[in-house]
């Protein structure tokens, strides 16, 4: 992807969606949906400069970039900071070199540690580490070791993602051919619960089903999604939400860039949320965070069985899932949504 071509298309979309006028205010900005660190320091600075032509960053705004450890150097981190980035989401995934090779990652464990050191030397103290759990047992990766090494690095924030096998991916094809076996369900559960126990013991808040943070270091950007706040999205496959309607761009980069070169909107689809949609999202988003759901009387009644099972806690009208409940988040949210008595 030519960086100059990408920046020109991005500026075109910004001009199309947000014509000249009163600049809109940003409290958070997230450069992600891939690996924006591949743009290089000048490319990242160009993205932020393009956004500033249409927006004003609020004082203390959170500006995050997703990065691979192999893209992090002293020079890159210093350039990101100078451009306005003040938070980095670092895709470490594991500290096991065999597992990293299996995942086709370009970095190794030493490179991951060095990337964290480079961020700190540049003055970027607010960063998040991404780890993947529930890897195939044949890899013999020690999840406990990954967690211990993460805690030793003392990141302000940690995001965990369970490995999923999608059909139209290399991993899906390996699975179909019997070359790799999906981790058993009980392994997924035990690794999730181990992460909860160790991170809580290390002083982190488990504030969302997949996220842990030191006090005061929650991701402000992601937290806004979980409260249903409106957000804008620019770029290939980007989504945005104005509080009533969800819209999304075409996914392929070439089609996105081609449309903008012609001056046409790269919008691919839109969905106007019904009251039922909005209520279902209220339930799902509320249950996935430690703040919980402001439950109605009917929802409280319906969830009484969850409390008995140890899947939830109810206090002052708020329903909060326990770690065991988070393991059942999808089914519990669906159960609450389709319940006949919800008033």
pLDDT along the chain (343 residues), means of 10: 90 89 86 86 94 92 96 96 96 96 94 98 97 92 97 98 63 45 76 98 98 97 89 94 94 95 95 92 94 92 93 94 96 81 47
Asked whether residue 84 falls in the same domain as residue 213, the answer is: yes
Which CATH number does the domain housing residue 124 bear? 3.30.750.200
Residue 194 belongs to some domain of the structure = yes
In a domain, residue 49? The reply is: no
pLDDT score, position 163: 82
Please indicate, yes or no, if residue 88 is contained in any of the structural domains.
yes
For residues 97 and 219, membership in a common domain is answered with: yes
Domain boundaries, position 327: 282-338
Q: Which of 204, 226, 248 corresponds to the end of one domain?
A: 226
| In-domain check, residue 161 | yes
* pLDDT attached to residue 186: 85
Does one domain contain both 217 and 296?
no
Instruction: Specify the pLDDT at position 37.
Output: 86
Beta-carbon contacts of 258 under 8 Å, excluding residues fewer than 6 positions away, are: none
Provide the pLDDT for residue 1.
60
pLDDT of residue 177: 46
Q: What is the pLDDT of residue 175?
A: 41
* 222 and 87 in a common domain: yes
Domain count, the chain: 2
How far lies 308's CA from each of 273, 325, 335, 340, in Å?
Answer: 34, 11, 16, 21
Give residue 104's Cα distance to chain centre: 21
pLDDT of residue 6: 94
Contact 181/140 with Cβ under 8 angstroms? Answer: no
Domain contains 38:
no
The pLDDT, as a whole number, for residue 167 is 52
In a domain? residue 319? yes
pLDDT of residue 182: 58
Same domain, 91 and 165: yes
**Same domain assignment for residues 310 and 222:** no
pLDDT at 164: 67
Q: Tokens for 58, please give them.
A: 């609020």
Shared domain check, 211 and 290: no
Examine the domain organization and report whether 291 and 213 are in the same domain.
Answer: no
Clarify whether residues 319 and 205 are in a common domain. Answer: no
- Does any domain span residue 232? no
200: left (phi over 0), alpha (psi -120 to 50) or beta: alpha
Is there a domain that residue 253 lies in? no
Question: Do 327 and 201 sit in the same domain of this protein?
Answer: no
One domain, residues 72 and 221: yes
pLDDT at 165: 53
Tokens 């290089």: give the residue.
Answer: 40
Residue at which a domain ends, from 198, 226, 254: 226
Placement of tokens 């991170």 in the chain: 199
Residues 182 and 329 in one domain: no
């Amino acid at each position: 992807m030519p960086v100059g071509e990408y920046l020109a298309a991005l500026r075109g979309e910004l001009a199309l969606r947000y014509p000249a006028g009163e600049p809109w205010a940003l409290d958070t900005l997230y450069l992600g949906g891939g690996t924006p660190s591949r743009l290089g320091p000048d490319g990242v600075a160009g993205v932020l400069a393009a956004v500033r032509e249409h927006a004003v960053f609020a004082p203390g705004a959170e500006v995050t970039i997703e990065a691979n450890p192999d893209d992090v150097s002293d020079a890159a981190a210093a350039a990101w900071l100078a451009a306005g980035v003040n938070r980095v989401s670092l895709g470490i995934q594991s500290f096991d070199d065999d597992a990293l090779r299996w995942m086709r990652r370009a970095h190794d464990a030493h490179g991951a540690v060095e990337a964290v050191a480079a961020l700190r030397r540049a003055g970027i103290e607010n960063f998040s580490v991404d780890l993947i759990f529930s890897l195939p047992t044949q890899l013999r990766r020690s999840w406990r070791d990954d967690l211990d090494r993460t805690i030793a690095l003392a990141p302000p924030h940690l995001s965990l993602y369970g490995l999923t096998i999608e059909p139209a991916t290399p991993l899906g094809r390996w699975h179909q051919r019997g070359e790799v076996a999906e981790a058993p369900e009980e392994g997924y559960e035990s690794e999730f619960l181990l992460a909860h126990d160790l991170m809580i013991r290390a002083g982190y808040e488990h504030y969302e089903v997949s996220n842990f943070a030191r006090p005061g270091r929650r991701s402000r950007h992601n937290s806004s999604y979980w409260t249903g706040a409106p957000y804008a999205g620019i770029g290939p496959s980007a989504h945005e939400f104005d509080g009533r309607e969800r819209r999304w761009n075409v996914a392929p980069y070439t089609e996105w860039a081609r449309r903008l070169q012609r001056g046409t909107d790269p919008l691919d689809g839109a969905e106007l949320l019904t009251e039922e949609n909005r209520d279902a999202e209220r339930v799902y988003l509320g249950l996935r965070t430690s703040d919980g759901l402001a439950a109605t009387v009917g929802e409280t009644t319906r969830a009484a069985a969850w409390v008995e099972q140890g899947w939830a806690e109810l206090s002052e009208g708020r329903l909060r899932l326990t770690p065991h409940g988070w393991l059942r988040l999808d089914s519990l949210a669906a159960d609450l949504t389709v319940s006949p008595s919800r008033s």
